[in-house]
Structure 1
């Protein structure tokens, strides 16, 4: 025979009412959408312990998969600014050039010295400046044609230099020249000018002499042999033209009938 239940055994305690956040559908949705919140809801719910452990493991794996996977590569316009910024930020690796074997180096010629500016300086100073650059000497000449350089002209002023300032000098060949004036004397407009030019000699020959000779010369006798100019005579018109007397008229020195073919008193017309 089976034992009879105690007639006064206490009745089981009633289960507390289920809250809205303990609803199974809400817990499952939270486990999928927001795993940390879903795990918390699962452990506060009425699920049995094994089910809570399984739900926690699956939700945790679901939550960690996106974090452990590589982010997708951006393409198009989204990747443009970031790629450009990354390229500008990261320096490009520089490749060191390989040394190329070279033969015996040939010495490069040094630059030719340049002519200094010596105009306005005393000749002694200009001479030291120039002769320090070339093997020759700086030649001195007077800037005026009628002025002779004295024995000592170191303080004479340089007015002109035949080689301009900045021009290249060949140390073995260059022989520059400086044109000088005495201290206190102004420079001429050009080398070779006369400091004291000679006065021009006026010509005494009157300009009216040819006209007077023409008017006072005796007239030709008209016989074709005599001339109106006394001792002046021309063989032909070529001689008249060579002397610059064509056309020659009756009464002019050297006029003759042999020069006047048509007898109109004017010879060597053409």
Structure 2
């Protein structure tokens, strides 16, 4: 008896695979965009184990890229800070990345003591000083009208102060600076004090003088009293009619 041909069951139809479900696309996304790649991996028909492995590896890769990128930014900031420090003027702080440059510190006066005046004046004006006055360090030594080679003994204000009008006390070349400014080079001559005239003894016979003997003379009664000679009687040394106001023959009796 003839048997009918064997009937084969039709093969099940595979579902249509979207482009984002392809393995190549998902692997690329896991490498370049880990969050997107992990989401796509869990939307595929991969086994549970493959999905977990893909998620773990992609997450580790994402963390490595994230932290390495932060290190690169820090290195770049360090390079910027080093460049700022290299170009900053001496004494100024380096500019930190992302911060505005702080205003530069005010200039200060340099130390110009012992410099020739022309160099000292140039240094001070370079520091912002508008006016530089020159004086002789000795009060009895006039400053030469042309004094570029006179040396600076003292400066005012002192070095380190802010820029302001400066005064320099100068000394001639080859001379030594004194301890302080405004002194005299040559000692001032002092005069001996004048002593008050003292009574002098006249002739022994007591006939010299006006109205009395001797050569003693007093300017007034105060001088006579100071000398302990008052009262003075007529004929005694120092008697004068001008001192005897009442004409009773006794001077400076009152």
What TM-score, normalized by structure 1, do the two folds share? 0.38
- Decide which structure has the larger Cα Rg and report it: 1
